[in-house]
C-alpha cells in the first residue's frame, strides 16, 4: 500500500436477512438463511458508537426488511445522536403512519422504498409472496405526507425495462425527490435468474434515452439516477469505488463485509463484530486487505491506465463467473474471460418464460447446501498427479 489506508465514509447495516418479499435479484447472499443469529439492539448500538471515530459519516439501514426489527427507531435515533446521516431502505409493505412517525421523530434523514415495476401485477409477481404493490404505493404516499425525503428504487431488467416511461411517471406522481433506476447486477440471486433477466441492447439503450430526457425535464424536482448494466459497457464499473476504500457492511449476524455481496466469494474469511472492533476489521482483517488498492491486480489491469478508475471491477462478479476472485472482471472488454459475457448475452431471454428462482429460505438452504457439497467434493478430491 503506497499511501495511508483510506477510511470508510459509509456503513451499511443489514439489520436482518428476514423479509416478507422474495425478489429474485435480491442482493443478500444465496446462503442468507444459514445466518440467523441476528445482532441485538445493544450490539448495533455499540457498532454505531464505534463508527464516527473510524471516519464513517453515513449509516444506511437495510435488510432483508429492516422494519421487521421492532428496535429500528431506537437504532436510528442512536445513529442520529452520533451525528451520522441516516438512510433507510425498505420494501415498504410494513410501513405505516405509526412507524413512519416514530422514524421521523428518531431523526431519519432519508427514506428509500423499492418498487418492482409500475405494473401492479408484474410488480407483485416479481416481488413474490403476498401481493405487495398497493402497500408499497401507500408506503411512499405516507412517507411524503410525513415529510420524508423519498427515494423510489426500481431494479431494472428484461421483464420491466419496456415500462421505463410508466416507472418514471409513477415516481413523479408519488412525489419522489429521487428515482434510482439501477439495472440488476448479476451476482447472487440475480445470477441464478440471469437468462430470464438480462435485457436486450435495444431495451437498455431505449431506457437510457428515456431516463436521460426525463432527467432534463425533471431537473430541480426529481433527481434520476440511471445505472447502466455493466454487461453492456466496455469497461467494468468502479465497484465500491475500490475495495475497502469507502464502504463497509455489517451483516445481520455481525459479519463485516467489504461489500454486501462478498459472502458469495468462497474461501474469503470475514471477521465478526462480536469479536473485533470495526476499526480492527477495517485496517487489519484479511477480507478488507485482500483487494485493497491496486497492488494485487492481475494483468491486463496492472498496466492499464484505468486501474485507478475501476480497480479491476467487481470481485464478486469475477469470482462467480470465473471461479477466481483475483481475475479481471469479465465484463471488461480487455478481460481474458470476456467471452463469458458474450455467451451470457447470446443466451439472454432463453429462460424468459421459465420459473424464476425466488429468494426464499427454502431455496437459500437448498442452494447453500449445493454450494457446500460442491466445495466438499473439491476438497476431498486427491490433488492431481503431475
Tell me: does residue 53 bind another protein (CB under 8 A).
Answer: yes
Q: Among residues 108 and 314, whose Cβ is nearest to another protein?
A: 108
d(CA 272, CA 281): 8
List the interface residues with another protein, window 108-167 (CB under 8 A): 109-110, 112, 147, 149, 151
Exactly one of 31, 39, 47, 60 binds another protein (CB under 8 A); that residue is 60
Contact status: 228 vs another protein (CB under 8 A):
no
Query: Which listed range, 48-56, 156-164, 263-271, 304-312, lies at the site for another protein (CB under 8 A)?
Result: 48-56
Which of 10, 16, 27, 260 binds another protein (CB under 8 A)? It is 10
296 is a site residue for another protein (CB under 8 A): no
User: Using CB under 8 A, which of the segments 5-13, 35-43, 164-172, 356-364 binds another protein?
Assistant: 5-13
Q: Which of 105, 134, 166, 219 binds another protein (CB under 8 A)?
A: 219
Q: Is 4 in the site for another protein (CB under 8 A)?
A: no
Of 102, 18, 345, which Cα lies nearest the Cα of 203?
345
# binding residues, another protein (CB under 8 A)? 25
Residue choice 5, 7, 235, 361 for contact with another protein (CB under 8 A): 7
Which of 50, 54, 195, 297 forms a contact with another protein (CB under 8 A)? 54
What is d(CA 274, CA 255) in angstroms, rounded to the nearest whole number?
8
For cell 489506508, what's the residue?
Answer: 5
Q: Is 351 in the site for another protein (CB under 8 A)?
A: no
77 binds another protein (CB under 8 A): no
Least distance (Å) between residue 224 CB and another protein: 10
Of positions 57, 82, 99, 208, contacts another protein by CB under 8 A: 57
Q: How far is the CB of 185 from another protein (least distance, A)?
A: 15
Per CB under 8 A, which region of 70-78, 216-224, 288-296, 371-379 contacts another protein?
216-224
52 is an interface residue for another protein by CB under 8 A = yes
Site map 161..200 versus another protein, x via CB under 8 A: ----------------xx-x--------------------
Distance of CA 78 to the CA centre of its chain: 24
Nearest to 255 by CA among 39, 5, 28, 31: 39
Q: How far is the CB of 222 from another protein (least distance, A)?
A: 8
Torsion angle defined by CA atoms of residues 144, 147, 148 and 151, in that order, rounded to the nearest 10 degrees: 40
- For the bound state, the minimum distance from the C-beta of residue 16 to another protein, rounded and expressed in Å, comes to 21
CA distances from 301 to 268, 292, 304 (A): 22, 14, 5
- For 252, the grid coordinates are 445481520
Give me the sheet containing 110-114, strands edge to edge: 223-227, 178-183, 150-156, 110-114, 85-90, 58-62, 10-14, 247-250, 256-257
Whole-angstrom distance, CA of residue 310 vs CA of residue 321: 18
Which of 16, 22, 27, 87 forms a contact with another protein (CB under 8 A)? 87
Given CA atoms 315, 319, 321, 322 in this order, what sign does their dihedral have? Answer: positive
In the complex with another protein, which residue's Cβ is closer, 9 or 296? 9
Question: What is the contact surface with another protein in residues (CB under 8 A)?
Answer: 7, 9-10, 52-55, 57-58, 60, 83, 85, 87, 109-110, 112, 147, 149, 151, 177-178, 180, 219-220, 223
Amino acid at each position: 500500500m503506497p499511501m495511508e489506508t483510506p477510511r470508510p465514509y459509509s456503513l451499511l447495516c443489514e439489520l436482518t436477512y428476514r423479509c416478507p418479499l422474495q425478489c429474485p435479484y435480491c442482493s443478500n447472499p444465496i446462503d442468507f438463511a444459514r445466518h440467523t443469529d441476528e445482532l441485538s439492539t445493544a450490539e448495533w448500538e455499540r457498532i454505531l458508537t464505534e463508527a464516527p471515530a473510524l471516519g464513517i459519516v453515513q449509516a444506511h439501514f437495510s435488510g432483508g426488511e429492516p422494519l421487521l426489527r421492532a428496535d429500528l427507531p431506537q437504532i436510528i435515533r442512536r445513529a442520529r445522536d452520533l451525528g451520522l446521516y441516516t438512510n433507510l431502505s425498505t420494501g415498504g409493505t410494513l410501513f405505516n403512519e405509526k412507524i413512519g412517525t416514530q422514524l421521523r421523530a428518531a431523526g431519519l434523514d432519508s427514506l428509500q422504498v423499492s418498487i418492482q415495476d409500475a405494473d401492479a401485477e408484474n410488480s407483485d409477481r416479481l416481488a413474490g409472496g403476498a401481493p405487495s404493490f398497493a402497500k408499497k404505493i401507500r408506503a411512499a404516499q405516507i412517507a411524503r405526507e410525513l415529510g420524508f425525503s423519498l427515494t423510489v428504487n426500481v431494479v431494472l431488467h428484461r421483464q420491466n425495462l419496456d415500462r421505463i416511461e410508466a416507472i418514471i411517471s409513477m415516481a413523479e406522481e408519488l412525489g419522489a425527490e429521487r428515482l434510482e433506476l439501477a439495472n440488476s447486477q448479476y451476482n447472487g440471486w440475480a445470477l441464478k435468474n440471469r437468462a430470464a433477466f438480462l435485457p436486450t441492447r435495444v431495451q437498455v439503450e431505449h431506457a437510457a434515452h428515456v431516463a436521460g430526457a426525463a432527467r432534463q425535464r425533471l431537473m430541480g424536482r426529481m433527481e434520476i439516477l440511471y445505472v447502466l448494466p455493466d454487461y453492456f459497457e466496455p469497461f467494468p464499473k468502479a465497484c465500491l469505488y475500490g475495495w475497502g476504500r469507502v464502504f463497509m457492511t455489517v451483516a445481520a449476524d455481525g459479519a463485516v463485509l467489504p461489500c454486501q455481496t462478498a459472502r458469495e466469494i468462497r474461501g474469503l474469511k470475514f471477521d465478526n463484530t462480536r469479536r473485533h472492533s470495526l476499526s480492527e476489521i477495517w485496517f487489519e482483517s484479511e477480507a478488507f486487505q485482500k483487494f485493497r488498492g491496486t497492488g494485487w491486480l492481475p494483468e491486463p489491469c496492472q498496466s492499464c491506465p484505468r486501474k485507478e478508475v475501476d480497480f479491476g471491477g467487481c470481485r464478486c462478479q469475477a469470482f462467480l463467473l470465473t471461479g477466481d476472485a483475483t481475475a479481471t472482471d469479465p465484463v471488461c472488454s480487455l478481460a481474458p474471460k470476456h467471452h463469458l459475457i458474450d455467451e451470457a448475452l447470446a443466451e439472454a431471454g432463453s429462460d424468459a418464460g421459465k420459473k424464476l428462482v425466488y429468494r426464499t429460505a427454502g431455496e437459500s438452504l437448498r442452494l447453500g447446501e449445493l454450494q457446500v457439497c460442491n466445495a466438499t467434493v473439491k476438497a476431498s478430491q486427491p490433488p492431481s498427479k503431475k
